Amino acid sequence: MIYEFRVQNFKSLKDVKIKLRKFNLLVGRNATGKTNVIDAFKLLKDVSWTHDPSFFNPFFKWGGYQNVVWRGWEELPIMLGYKAKVEDYDVSYEVYFTGYGGKFEILRESIDVSGVVNVTMEGNKLTIKHRPKFVEEVLNRVKEPIFTPVGGKISISKDLLIFQEYEIQERKTLRRSGWSATYSENFAIGTLHIPTKSGEVPVIISPTVKEKIRVRYGFDKFKEEMHFEPLITYVASSASKLMHPTIILRQLNFEAIATPQLVKKEIVLTEDGSNLANVLHTIYTEKGGIPRRIERVLRAIFGNVEVRPKITEDGRVFIQVYENGYPLLPRNVSDGFWKVLTILTAIELNPSIILIDELENSLHPEAIEYIVNELKNSNSVVIATTHSPAVVDIVSPEDLILFEKDKDGKTIVKRVKDASKVRKWLAEHGITLSEGWLYGEIF
C-alpha cells in the first residue's frame, strides 16, 4: 500500500510530501493545489506506463512543459515519487524528468528496497548498491556458483555485490529492463538485461514476493494463480502496477454516461465516467450479476431501484435503471444517481488508488455519508478533494489534509497533529469539525 507521495516543481507543488492514510480528504480554499495533486498522480501514471520516452510527451495536454513546471522555469526538472509497503518491505520510487525544449526525457530513476538494495539510473550511469548485511545473509546460504536461466555464471563476490557502477550503452527505464534470475528459497539472484560499455553484467540479489496473476485458459476464461517475482523487478514495475489501475474521477460527463456505447470489454473507468456502461457490463458478465454492494447502497440511498446493463438491437450497451419495477429513460435519471453508481463501480474494480475531485458535487449529504463509508471500507487508498463542510463533518480529524499557499505561491500541506486533542477541543467548544477547519483552529 502506498503511504507517502512526494512532488517537486509541478505547478504550485514546489516541494510537497503527503503522508497518506487509507482515506484522505484534501481541504482548502480554491487554487491552493488540491487538484494539482490529482494531476500529479495522473502524470506519474502516464510516465510510469510509457514504453518509449522518446515518442511520448505528457505535457501536450497542458500546452507545454512551461505551463506545468514551477513558475514556468523550464530548466527545473519535475520529480514524482512514492513510498509503499510491499509485503514486509518498505520500498520507494523516484523519477526526475523534464520537458525542456519540447522534448520529454527521464533524467534519473531510483528504486530503493529498505535494508536490501538501491538501484539508480541517471543519464548513462547505472548504480547498484546492496546493503552489506543482506549480502552476508545471502552469501551464507549460497556456496556454489549460480547460473542464470539463459546460461552463464553470476558472480557473487561480496565486494561486487555491495557496490556496482556501469556505463550503459542504451538508456532504458528500469521498468523496461529485462531480468533473468535463479531462485533459491526466499530470494533470487539475477542479471539486468542492460548492455554496459565494459561488457560486464549488472547483478542484483532480491527477495521474492508473491503476486496474483490472471492466466487465460480457453477463449475468454481466466483464473488467478500465485506467481513468485523478485522484489526488485516488482518494484521496478510497481509504479505502473500502482498507477495504471489507479482510477481518477472528475468532471463526470452525465450525458455520455446516459448515452448507449458500443460494446467492448473495459475494466478501468475513464476520468469522466463516460464508459460506465461498458465497465458495469464487464463486471455484470464476469460476476453473473450486479455486485451486492452496488445493489445495497443504491437501495439505501434511492429506495427501490435496480440497475442492469442492456444491449440495444444495434449492438450498443446502456444502463437500464428501474424504479419500483418500472424502467426509467437514462436521460431522466439524476446526476447524483449516476455519480453514486460511478463511484461504487470504481470501488468494485478494486484499484490500488481511487482519486475523486470535488467529491460533494451532485450529491446529497446523506448520499455522501454512504459513499464515504464505502470508500473507507474498500481495499483502495482513497484521495478525495472537497470544499464542502458537509463532507468534512462526515470524516474524522485524522482524515483531513489542509492545503494552503504561502506568499510565494507554494502549496503548503498540513495534517492534524493530535486527533484526540482536536476531538476534545471541538466537544468543549460545541462546534463541528468543519467549523474548526473554517475557523483555522485544528491544524
Q: Does the residue 306 lie in any domain?
A: yes
Give residue 318's domain range.
Answer: 247-395
pTM confidence score: 0.89
pLDDT tens, residue by residue, 199-235: 887 888 877 776 655 555 555 555 565 566 777 777 6
Specify whether 256 is located in the same domain as 231. no
pLDDT tens, residue by residue, 400-429: 999 999 999 999 999 998 999 999 999 999
Mean pLDDT by 10 residues, the chain (443 residues): 96 98 96 97 84 75 96 97 88 94 92 91 92 84 57 63 85 67 65 81 77 54 62 66 80 97 94 98 96 98 98 96 97 97 98 96 95 97 95 96 96 94 92 90 82
**Residue matched to cell numbers 474498500:** 378
**Backbone conformation region of residue 383, classed left if phi is above 0, alpha if psi is from -120 to 50, else beta:** beta
Query: How many domains are there within the chain?
Result: 2
Domain boundary (244, 263, 280) is at 244
Q: Does the residue 218 lie in any domain?
A: yes
CATH of the domain at 273: 3.40.50.300
Specify whether 235 is located in the same domain as 162. yes
Decide if 7 contacts 202 (C-beta within 8 A).
Answer: no
Domain boundary (244, 274, 309) is at 244
